[in-house]
Structure 1
Amino acid sequence: MTSARRRWAGLVFISIAVALIIVDSTIVNVAIPSIVRDLDITSTQVQWVQESYTLVFAALLLVFGTLADRYGRRRILLNGVAFFATASVFAALAPSGNLLIGARIIQGIGGAMALPTTLSLINATFRGRERGIAFAVWGSTIGGMVAVGPLLGGWLTTYYSWRWAFGINVPLAVAIVIGVLLCVPESKDSGQPRRIDIVGAVLSVIASASLVFGLIEGRSYGWWLVAADNKPVFGNWAWPFALSPIPMAFAVTLLSGSAFIWWGIQRQRAGRTTLLAFALFAIPSFRNGNVAAMIVSLGEFGIILSLPLWLQNVIGYDALQTGLVLLALAIGSFAASGLSSVALAKISPVAIVRIGIVAEIIGVAGLGLVISSSATWLTIIPFLFVYGFGVGLATAQLTGVVLKDVPVEQSGQGSGTASTARQIGSALGIAILGTILFTSVGSSLNYRLSDDSAALSASARSQIVDTVVLSAGGAIPGLAAKDPQVGAAAREAFSDGTRYSAFAASGFLVLGLLATLRLSGRTGDEAAEPSPEEQRSR
């Protein structure tokens, strides 16, 4: 096999590794209703099943990006895939919600080892126009897998069990390990070995964990004061204060985040290595691109949490039908990948990013407009396609813009930083949009039931609201069977929550579009080479 063919074959297996990591962050969504029934988990645990994976993933990306530069990018990738597959076995066998969340945490560690190394391997292996194409393949894989995951999960859940949504990772991991060993050369920093910033790593984990904890648990524990009848309990210890733990969690986020930045800057000034690539933020494309990527990620994938719950519990689709509806997103993303490679010859990557984000805004806002308890797949699919088309355009090219001026020897740390920005945005998106979803469902249902001609008592109304919210909508079909009027109110309320979640996501995407205005439209090569006018003036 020639070196060129080996390089492109290696990209295939790197893309499969990306697919493995991304699929597992989305494959669970359509399986959640089945998991709720089998393991009897609450709506807060539903968020944690998703969030625990994303949170650990985001917190450790920087650590493993640095380790990859030092010890070998291919080595860290292979270890991450093996670690991920092992954790998937534990997830597939989990007998309770808490143990499933624990397995997801372990999966997050494996994912954090694998994802940044895929980016840095591409950055180290490809050059020029080939690198742009490789990044397009990488980004389109992410966009496509966001929807292929639910389809695969729906098929496995409907015809086998939700546990196979995790078990499928094992044979994929074996294929990745073999392919990477055969086709991907080792790559690492040839300079002096660098020490790992342990203090920075601990501070980053504390900051991200406390922030997401506060966002998810705020509606349960109280945003400021604890409800007298709902004292938080951690293990065997009950919270003794009137002040909720949530503002304290946010205070920890502020303190640890500030300490992380201060510590990193001090280490950089002393000439020591830092967990976050502070020096790289002097590069405009890296700095502005990461800001844009984080904001875009807030709205980009959070909506995928609420849609499967709404499609199954309100519209009445099974897991496979839900996956088929979400397939429109994957088709849109794959269509965009082919177009972006052609468009790169005519317009700048930044222009493609902006077009992609505009398409995402149209798609997500459109979903918010058509979502109702009487909606059908015919009204949903067109907007999902447009949304997926935007993801396919924006994701790959935004990644390329962020890393285009990063030195190869720092590609692991740079890609780790870029991936961290995305994952922090994604984690915040899931936490914020999930909170908007369930809070809105509770408020809307309480209002609808209070206007109900059945004249339910306050306690009965509260019990129904709690049942719907805690079950993440899973109780709606049962309520409808017992009392069609209450069931109709619950379906409308869950549709309201899903709609508000979609509008919030589109709002984040608008902010992300505004953030791209600070990005240069020129490529790194164009920026480095003087224009003909400049050459004549010399």
Structure 2
Amino acid sequence: MTDHAAKGTGRRRWFGLFFISLGVALIIVDSTIVNVAIPSIIDDIGLTSSGAQWVQEIYTLVFAALLLVWGRLADQWGRRRLFIIGVVIFAGSSVLAATSGTGTLLILARAVQGIGGSMMLPTSLSLLNAGFRGKERGIAFAFWGATIGGMAALGPLLGGWLTTSFSWRWAFGINIPLGLLVIVGMLLYVAESKDEHARAGTDIPGAVLAAVGFGGLVFGLIEGRNFGWIRATGDFSAFGWTWPWSVSASAVAGTVGVAALVTFVLVERGRNIRGDAAMLDLSLFTIPSFRNGNIAAAIVSLGEFGVIFSLPLWLQSVTGYSAFETGLALLPLAVGSFAASGVSATIGQRFTPVTLVRMGIALEIVGIAGFGLLLRTESGWLTTTPLLFVYGIGVGLATAQLTGVVLVDVPVERSGQGSGTQSTARQVGSALGIAILGTILFTTLGSRLDDALQAMGQLPDVARLKFVDAVKDSAGAIIPSLRADPATAPVAEAARNAFTDAARASALSAAAFLVVGMLASLSLGGHKHDIPRHASDEEATADVVAPDSHPLHAASD
């Protein structure tokens, strides 16, 4: 493999890291910023409730479906080239989103944004894996991880500010100048790299099966609560067409997704054996750090979703915070995440990456479990700030270092495949987190509120169930208006208590999954990435990235 990284030496690589991370920040912010802009979008262009859901979900579905596809093609076509193409597509579709006059156009724009974003995320990782060595790679991944964690928290703040002070259209319009800045920076400071010995040809069956498989699986996991896990319990519609069968759309999509993934593995196995171009080199899973690291990453992502999912809803519904105030309340998470990147270089001198992963997961557990134990209806920023800060430090450590652990033994020429696989594992884990923790949150909310209203004994059954459904269906958004009306204030108070109990249950469940993730990380010890961090740069570089030292290279030679 010829890695054209010579151009990316010295300061140029660190400038390049900034622009790569800025590109990643765009796609992470975009996945969260829309949540706070949706009410304004509904008012402005008359978006239906079904359309609003698709504006939020289509980006995630397309993004998850294509991660593995673009990760592989980046190795063939050039990682910088594919990243820049992704930025162009992302920024161009942001123009369409910002100028959309109908829900259909906005949904289409969001789908195209998902295509661009799915090009950028795995390619960003493979660029870092190819461009940095030894301890510098750990620092680069730490900065990348802090960007992921920090931008997830800053998204609602930025979205609330832009929507309130200007227009919801600027929630998309801001991507345009920043996207142009990323493109210029990438051309100036990031070296091109690709697998010079990649097999010729394109694995079209593998690409189609991967897209259908992961897209169907993620849709089934995310939408099961809305449309039913087996039997249809909600109306699924898209572009004027309504799902006509009694079996739920999510169950069908999930089943098709699983079947497609099984077929994908069989097809890829055959192509690997024959020596044909393949979307996924299955021999990567013979690398213990890669195999076990992906399992741990999926489980940790499942647990990490706990706070990001339930806390913004709780802050707005129970405490009455505005969208902008909610963003401010989440700011300590971003501060903690960025702080972790600042200290990781220092503490990385004393601890191995796997140890830092476990430290990060432990801090995440402390932060999330703290919400499960301490959250009350009268809680405010004094309660949430320290817990979010601790949790943010944990995310900053765990996300970056776990990514580095997963990719450290992957040959550089296969960085795209490795990055796409680990990004997909995280995305599937997040979707599973949405399914499980969302179900826990809203099931607990409905059950506790129903019990509380029954105990009040003042409402007939029909009215009681109507209030319960209204609170659940609005994800608690109706609580402030119920509280403002003296006639329904007692119902609102019961709903606030029920929502707080539900948020605590969801947080404790997320903490439990993170404990499982911690246990999964125990399988990560004893590999090359456990080199002592006080080793010299030359020793670390040789041990981590020497291409001829790995069995996969020997096999390919």
User: What amino acid does structure 2 have at the position aligned with 1:285?
Assistant: S
Aligned position for 1:340? 344
Q: Are 2:302 and 2:432, in contact at CA under 8 Å, matched by a contact in 1?
A: yes
TM-score, structure 2 length as denominator?
Answer: 0.87
Is 2:529 aligned against 1:510? Answer: no
Offset at 1:177?
Answer: 0.7
Pairing partner for 2:390 from 371, 383, 386: 386
Aligned to 1:441: 445
- Greater shift, 209-218 or 381-390, is seen at 209-218
Name the CA distance, whole Å, in 1 between partners of 2:68 and 2:306.
Answer: 22
| TM-superposed deviation, 1:305 | 2.5
Letter in 2 for 1:168: I
Q: How does 1:32-47 map to 2 (within 5 A)?
A: 32=38, 34=40
Q: Tell me how large the CA RMSD over aligned residues is.
A: 2.7
Note if contact 1:264-1:278 (Cα within 8 Å) is conserved in structure 2.
yes
Deviations 1:329-349 (A, max 9, x none): 011112211221111111110
Secondary structure at 1:346 match in 2: coil
Does the 8 Å contact 2:222/2:432 carry over to 1? no
- The answer as to 2:155 corresponding to 1:152 is no
Structure 1 residue 313: Cα displacement:
2.1
Secondary structure of the corresponding residue to residue 301 of structure 1: helix
Deviation of 1:42 after TM superposition, in Å, equals 8.0
Partner of 1:520: 525
The secondary structure found in structure 1 opposite 2:315 is helix
Tell me the residue number matched to 1:212.
Answer: 218
Identity, % of aligned pairs?
59
Q: What are the equivalent positions in structure 2 for 1:133-148 lying under 5 Å apart?
A: 133-148=139-154
Q: Which ranges of structure 1 fall in alignment gaps of 5 or more residues?
A: 531-538
- In the alignment, which residue of structure 2 is the partner of 1:534? none
For structure 2, the residue ranges without an aligned partner over 5 or more in a row are 1-6, 532-539, 545-557
Q: Give the structure 2 partner of residue 474 of structure 1.
A: 477
CA distance in 1, matches of 2:395, 2:235: 42
SS at match of 1:451: helix
Please state whether the residue corresponding to 2:351 is helix, strand or coil.
Answer: coil
Summarize the alignment of residues 51-66 of structure 1 with structure 2, pairs less than 5 Å apart. 51-66=57-72
Q: Which amino acid aligns with 2:521?
A: T
177-186 or 102-111: which moved more? 102-111
**2:162–2:168 CA contact under 8 A, matched in 1:** yes
Paired residues of 2:272 and 2:281 also in contact (CA < 8 A):
no
Work out whether residues 223 and 435 of structure 2, in 8 Å CA contact, stay in contact via their aligned partners in 1: no
Is 2:21 the counterpart of 1:15?
A: yes
Residue in structure 1 matching 2:182, options 176, 179, 188: 176
1:253 is matched with: 257
Which of 60, 79, 82 is the equivalent residue of 2:85? 79
Rounded to whole Å, the distance in 2 between the matches of 1:24 and 1:64 is: 19
Residue 233 of structure 1 deviates from its aligned partner by: 5.8
> Among 225, 228, 251, which residue is 1:222 paired with?
228
Please, which of 92, 98, 110 is the counterpart of residue 92 of structure 1?
Answer: 98
- 1:414 aligns with 418
Once the two structures are superposed, residues 197-233 of structure 1 have per-residue CA deviations (whole angstroms, 9 ceiling, x without a partner) of: 2222222222223333333333343333446xx6666
Contact 1:64 1:113 in 2 (8 A): yes
Count residues with an aligned counterpart.
Answer: 526
Tell me how far apart the structure 1 counterparts of residues 476 and 47 of structure 2 sit (CA, whole Å): 12
What is the CA distance between 1:284 and its match in structure 2?
A: 0.8
**Range with greater deviation from structure 2 (208-217 or 387-396):** 208-217
Partner AA of 1:393 in structure 2: L
CA distance in 1 between counterparts of 2:54 and 2:313 reads 15
In structure 2, how many angstroms separate the alpha carbons of the residues matched to 1:288 and 1:114?
24
Residue of structure 1 in register with 2:535 after alignment? none
Q: Flag the 1:300–1:270 CA change in 2: closer, same or farther, 3 A.
A: same
Q: Distance in 1 between matches of 2:509 and 2:113?
A: 29
Give the Å deviation of 1:374.
1.6
Say if 1:408 and 1:214 are closer, same or farther in 2 by CA, change over 3 A: closer
Counterparts of 2:431 and 2:165, CA distance in 1 = 30
Tell me if the contact between 1:51 and 1:427 (Cα under 8 Å) persists in the aligned partners: no
- Aligned 8 A contact 2:362 2:518 in 1: yes
Query: Cα 1:300–1:51, aligned 2, differ >3 Å: closer, same or farther?
Result: farther
CA distance in 2, matches of 1:139, 1:146: 11
Q: Deviations over 1:152-197 (max 9, x none)?
A: 2222233223332222111110110111111112212211454332
Q: Which residue of 2 aligns with 1:536?
A: none
**Following the alignment from structure 1 to structure 2, what is the Cα–Cα distance between the partners of residues 253 and 429?**
18
Matched residue SS, 1:137: helix
- Determine whether 1:285 maps to 2:293: no
Describe the shift of the 1:205–1:135 C-alpha distance in structure 2 as closer, same or farther (beyond 3 A).
same
- Counterpart among 118, 124, 131 of residue 137 in structure 2: 131
1:313 equivalent among 311, 314, 317:
317
CA distance in 1, matches of 2:112, 2:261: 24
Q: Deviations over 1:250-308 (max 9, x none)?
A: 43233222212211112111112322331111111111111111111112135313222
Mapped pair 1:399 → 2:400: no
Which residue of the other structure, out of 493, 497, 518, is the alignment partner of 1:492? 497
Q: Per the alignment, in what secondary structure is the counterpart of residue 318 of structure 2?
A: helix
Q: What code does the residue aligned with 2:417 have?
A: Q
